[in-house]
Structure 1
């Protein structure tokens, strides 16, 4: 009976009682765990807010400097662009002056009919007369190649709907072959030294970019030139571009076509011969 009485009087083990007493004692001396966790979270948030505030203050302080540097760069670009435009205009004026002096010198030295013909064919003088007007334009829904390449490089055609430099080369060559005496593209006179090239999607004539539509004017016998070009291999090539890729092209005979002189025609390699032909005796 004494054992039963002891169990009833002491239902909790002495170890449990000791642990409960120790936990109670610790709670009285320190902060609860939940409160300590909340204080730690609050301290972390305060630290994060401090870092964000300092970063924002530094960004705000540096903003005027960045804006000033950006504006200075823009001003430099605008200034250099204006200088380049001015120099280009000066070059064009000097070229026109040189061309005018060349023509005046040839006339004063007794230029012949053959010399005048050479001037016309070389593009050194402005011309006018009957001819044709050929307008070539991109397709209505033209687009560039996704990979930046020119799919027409090997096959001769493209599904982008854009007119390429090779197309204009063939158009010009076809007009020359059909009897054109002088040709210009968008007001740019072609000479024996002219080159039609590409820079990206832009077409360059003598390093000057052109924008579509490309208006080609050719001086020659209008009806013969028009029919001859359309029936030539290059004319059929242009028709194929129209039918297959949506390239737009129209050609019409003109009663009077006016073409400007080329900016300059400079011979870089040929020199006048000073040697006299010696007559041999037999």
Structure 2
């Protein structure tokens, strides 16, 4: 007798409507994972309960007491050391404040001594310089200067990066970037001197015959003082004439080429009133009698030879 197909529905046994969803049916019928069920069974059986033997209870109690003792000792030590740490910190703050006040007092004393030395130098030059004291002081940068002149601002190019890897500028050892280098600033200052400037300063640093413009990494130093861009160069002289002479000089053309080739930003303008400070410190290198017009000796003292100050003052290395 042929067997009836299992997919055919009968009155005695009709196929389940969800017969084609056996996976979903299995998930619904066994929603609890077997591992969770086994763990629940062990807990009900008492496998994961607290230790029941006396020895186990003693070990557990000893561990808890030891942990509590460690925490208590740590808290007590921290509480005991807190005043000591606070006291040491306050003592350190007091020492820093005291040393700072002492350094400020020494700085004020140094400024006062410098001013006193400057006054004594001026008095000596006026007494023995026979009228040349003011000129020597001006050439040496010992006095502040005010008069017509020019203002030249030199700044790095926009979005310039330090340490580019392009070719060198001409024959010099500088990266082919839009950053102003010490050699560039040297040429600018020397160009102003040769164009007729009587006194020059860079970022309020007065230049003298002994001034030096050097580099320390990417920083530019003027007399060992680091400067940051933009570099503002002030020069006292005939403003319009000085600006025209500088633009036509070799150094002025060099600055223009830096602007065109590397994007260095420059701005040159004549000013009716330019103020330059005195040099921060001057050292008398030589002081010897200089014969005057009538044959009598007169004393001149300045940084370097008095007769060479004007010459070396118009040149910065």
Whether 2:90 is the aligned partner of 1:71: answer yes
Give TM-score scaled by structure 2 length. 0.58
Q: Deviations over 1:154-185 (max 9, x none)?
A: 742365x6655444333322322332211112
* Cα 1:70/1:194, change in 2 over 3 Å: farther
Partner residue of 1:7? none
Q: CA deviation at 1:130?
A: 2.1
Partner residue of 1:83? 102
Check conservation: 2:203, 2:232, Cα contact below 8 A: yes
The 10-residue stretch of structure 1 (246-255 or 164-173) with the greater mean CA deviation from structure 2: 164-173
Q: CA deviation at 1:252?
A: 0.8
- Residue correspondence of structure 1 range 196-275 to structure 2 within 5 A: 196-197=213-214, 203-239=220-256, 241-242=258-259, 247-268=264-285, 270-272=286-288
- Residue correspondence of structure 1 range 136-175 to structure 2 within 5 A: 136-138=154-156, 155-157=173-175, 159=177, 163-175=180-192
Q: CA deviation at 1:218?
A: 0.6
Larger helix fraction of residues: 1
Whether 2:117 is the aligned partner of 1:101: answer no
Check conservation: 2:156, 2:230, Cα contact below 8 A: yes
1:42 & 1:199 partners in 2: Cα distance?
68
Q: CA deviation at 1:79?
A: 2.5
Give TM-score scaled by structure 1 length. 0.63
2:232 & 2:142 partners in 1: Cα distance?
21
User: Which one scores higher on RCO, CA 8 angstroms, separation ≥ 6?
Assistant: 1
Q: Select 2:199's aligned residue among 182, 186, 200.
A: 182
Partner residue of 2:111? 92
Whether 2:148 is the aligned partner of 1:130: answer yes
Aligned residues: 236
Check conservation: 1:128, 1:219, Cα contact below 8 A: yes
Check conservation: 1:186, 1:214, Cα contact below 8 A: yes
Question: 5+ residue gaps in structure 1?
Answer: 1-31, 275-282
Question: 5+ residue gaps in structure 2?
Answer: 1-46, 291-317
1:231 & 1:222 partners in 2: Cα distance?
14
* Cα 1:77/1:121, change in 2 over 3 Å: same
Structure 2 counterpart SS, 1:130: strand
